[in-house]
Chains A and B, each alone.
Chain A
Amino acid sequence: MTGISGNDGSSTGIRVASVDDIPEGEGIAISSDITGTEDDIAILRDDDGTCWALNDTCTHETASLAEGWVEDGDVECPLHSSRFNLRTGKVDGLPATRDTVPHRVEVRDGEVYLFPGERP
């Protein structure tokens, strides 16, 4: 995994995975050591093949959303089934009550690039 920064300081993202490493409907967690963010970041692949990124830890307890069920634009927490919107991070469904943070991802040539802290 490599970090690439343009000379003007604009980030071109961190290459975190090949798309083919993430089955549709599943996710992988990228460690905060790599993302430089407070929380790990989950790269989540919707069942239509698109990739999204959210803070990995469910806002309710400590579950990893990368281990959740991804479908129809949402990820469902593997512990208590709260759902988060993949694009906005908005929570729909207790027990979680707080939205999570979305991050921008881009897929280029079959590689997934993550832009931690940037809005999608």
Chain B
Amino acid sequence: MTVSSVVVVGGGIAGVSTVAELRKHGYAGELTLVSADAVPYDRPPLSKEYLAGSRDLESIALQPPSWYAEQRISLIGSAAAVAVRPDAGEVELADGQILTADRIVLATGGRAVRPPIAQAAPIHVLREVADADRLRTQLVPGARLLIVGAGLIGAEVASTARGLGAEVVLVDPLVPPLAAAVGSEVATWLHGLHAVHGVEALATTVETLLETPTGVAVQLQGERDSREFDAVLLAVGLSPENVLAESAGLEVDRGVLIDAGQLTSHPSVLAVGDCSRLRDHPRAEHWEAAQVDGARAAATILEIAPPPAAAPWWWTDRYGLHVEGVGEMRSPDAVHQTVVRGVVGEPPFSVFTLRSERVIGAVAVDDPNAVRAARRMIDRQVDVRASDLADVTQNLRKLL
């Protein structure tokens, strides 16, 4: 059956990428994007430039507002889907409107995890523009901010908050965080940057949070006295937004379960981005993965060749340093080798994981083209020598 109508629910990068890719590949049928936001915007700046105040909402739009009409996409903004009925091909909106489509794509992303104890006003999470706006009002010079969780978002906010003059305490029981993503040596150095930039980084957890007239009293594990903060940010992970999928009877297990073509357990419903995962993989939770999901979903709907498989890529920024990773980092063992290009801690540098003669992952600090080279080495399955990777005078593209 030729598909002549598609409804995409969720206007993050995954949803916007899905509609863009459908049009790019010549889909001429009806196309509707249901977005909780008036105009879909990009999330990575929310912990970086947008939080710092150097970029505004208009400049973080995923597409200019006029783009949707140009592409003949009906953008239903500031709307919420409340039910999806796969057999009938129906999506019901909060205002009662019912959309029908041959294919429904769920791109509902996720919510920041917020433990039930943490409902007080100065306690923040960061996933939406409104969250960033609220947090920013508290990031004034001298304000005392506690960040719980030193992963990618917690670390980025620590850096931004320092830039705005706030006093920052960052707690995480896991030291160093991100070791699985960047390898333990780079993780240790990255985590150490917090102290260098005046952040008190503690290996502990929060026992209790109590709202007081002036802020939040926090009892940290292992400390005798509680501490007082003006604001607390909980950066402790993402919970996929699967309400619609569950009520639609789709198979859900820490994400809508999808196949390699983004199809869910129902043949006319697809799922993309942070709300979804392959059965035998964890959720990717990175920007580019969500974008590629959209391209794959479009290919599945149009029955054309999917985009070529590519090693997953991500970036993060802290304290003025640009960090990128690709593929998978592994500790050295019988089959894996760690190769350092440059000196860890002296950017630019990069670190590669080699399995036999093949690169399987790389991380770079202020050396993005090392990751671009590594990505091609992985995707093209190029044999390389560790000594060539480590030689900073060796142009990496010559190894491709």
Interface string of A21-34 (1 = CB under 8 A from B): 00111000000000
A69: interface (CB < 8 Å): yes
- Which of B16, B49, B63, B368 is the most central at the interface, judged by chain A CB atoms within 10 Å of its CB? B368
Q: Shortest CB–CB separation between residue B275 and chain A, in angstroms?
A: 19
Query: Which residues A49-81 have CB closer than 8 A to chain B?
Result: 61, 67-69, 76, 78-81
Is B67 close to A, CB under 8 A?
yes
With known contacts A94-B17, A95-B42, A79–B288 Cβ distance under 8 A: no
A12 close to chain B: CB less than 8 A:
no
Q: Is B397 an interface position by the 8 A CB rule?
A: yes
- B368–A79 CB distance below 8 A: yes
Asked whether A18 is an interface residue with its Cβ less than 8 Å from the other chain, the reply is no
Task: Give the shortest distance, in Å, between A44 (CB) and chain B (any CB).
Answer: 13
Given A69-B369, A78-B369, A94-B322 contact (CB < 8 Å): no
Which of B13, B315, B369, B373 interacts with A94 by CB under 8 Å? B13
The yes or no answer to A97 lying at the interface (CB within 8 A) is: yes
Contact between B13 and A79 (Cβ–Cβ < 8 Å)? Answer: no
B395 within 8 A of A: yes
User: Could you say which residues of chain B place their CB within 8 Å of the CB of A94?
Assistant: 13, 16-17, 20, 42, 62-63, 291
Q: How many residues of B contact A (CB 8 A)?
A: 23
Question: B192 an interface residue at 8 Å Cβ cutoff?
Answer: no
Are the CB atoms of B368 and A97 closer together than 8 Å?
no
What residues on B are CB-neighbors of A97 within 8 Å?
61-64, 67
Counting CB contacts under 8 A, is B349 at the interface? Answer: no
Contact of A80 among B62, B64, B315, B373 (CB under 8 A): B315
Report chain B residues within 8 Å CB of A76.
372
B49 and chain A: residue at smallest CB distance: A61
B244 CB → nearest A CB, Å = 25
Interface residues of B in 36-78 (CB under 8 A from A): 42, 44, 49, 61-64, 67
**Chain A CB within 8 A of B229 CB:** no
CB nearest neighbor in B for A69? B372
Enumerate chain A residues within 8 angstroms of B62, measured Cβ to Cβ: 94-95, 97
Q: Does B352 contact A (CB under 8 A)?
A: no
Cβ-closest chain A residue relative to B291: A94
B315's partner among A25, A47, A67, A79 (CB-CB below 8 A) is A79
Specify which chain A residues have a CB less than 8 angstroms from the CB of B395 in the assembled complex: 23
Secondary structure of the A side of the interface? loop
List the B side residues contacting A47 at CB < 8 Å: 397
Chain B: CB-nearest residue to A92: B24
Measured in the bound complex, the distance between the Cα atoms of B288 and A23 in whole Å is 29
Distance of A77 Cα from B61 Cα, bound (Å): 19
Complex CA gap A88/B315 in Å reads 28
Interface string of A10-26 (1 = CB under 8 A from B): 00000000000001110
Minimum CB distance partner of B17 in chain A: A94
Query: Which chain A residue has the least Cβ–Cβ distance from B397?
Result: A25
Q: Which residues of B lie under 8 Å from residue A81 when comparing CB positions?
A: 288, 313, 372
- Chain B residues within an 8 Å CB radius of A67: 368-369
Shortest C-beta distance, B26 to chain A (Å), equals 16
Chain B residue numbers with a CB within 8 Å of A61 are 49
Q: Please, which residue of chain A has its CB at the minimum distance from the CB of B55? A: A61
Instruction: Provide the residues of chain B in CB contact with A25, threshold 8 Å.
Output: 397
Contact partners of B372 in chain A: CB under 8 A: 69, 76, 78, 81
Complex-state Cα separation, A68 to B62, whole angstroms: 22
Please encode chain B, from 344 to 379, with 1 for each CB lying within 8 Å of some chain A CB and 0 for all others. Answer: 000000000000000000000000110011000000
User: Which residue of the partner chain B has the closest CB to A95?
Assistant: B42
- Least Cβ distance of A45 to chain B in Å? 12
Chain A residues with CB under 8 A of B16: 94
Instruction: Give complex CA distance A6, B44 in Å.
Output: 49
5 additional A-B pairs beyond A61-B49, A94-B16, beta carbons within 8 Å, are: A78-B372, A81-B313, A81-B372, A94-B20, A94-B42
Residues of chain A touching chain B, judged by Cβ–Cβ distance below 8 Å, are: 23-25, 47, 61, 67-69, 76, 78-81, 94-95, 97
Of the A-B pairs whose beta carbons lie under 8 Å apart in the complex, a sample of 26, sorted by A's number, is A23-B395, A47-B397, A61-B49, A67-B369, A68-B369, A69-B369, A69-B372, A69-B373, A76-B372, A78-B368, A78-B369, A79-B322, A80-B315, A81-B372, A94-B13, A94-B16, A94-B17, A94-B20, A94-B42, A94-B291, A95-B44, A95-B62, A97-B61, A97-B62, A97-B63, A97-B67
Chain B: residues with CB nearer than 8 A to chain A? Answer: 13, 16-17, 20, 42, 44, 49, 61-64, 67, 288, 291, 313, 315, 322, 368-369, 372-373, 395, 397
Q: Return the 3 tightest CB-CB contacts between A and B, nearest first.
A: A78-B368, A69-B372, A25-B397
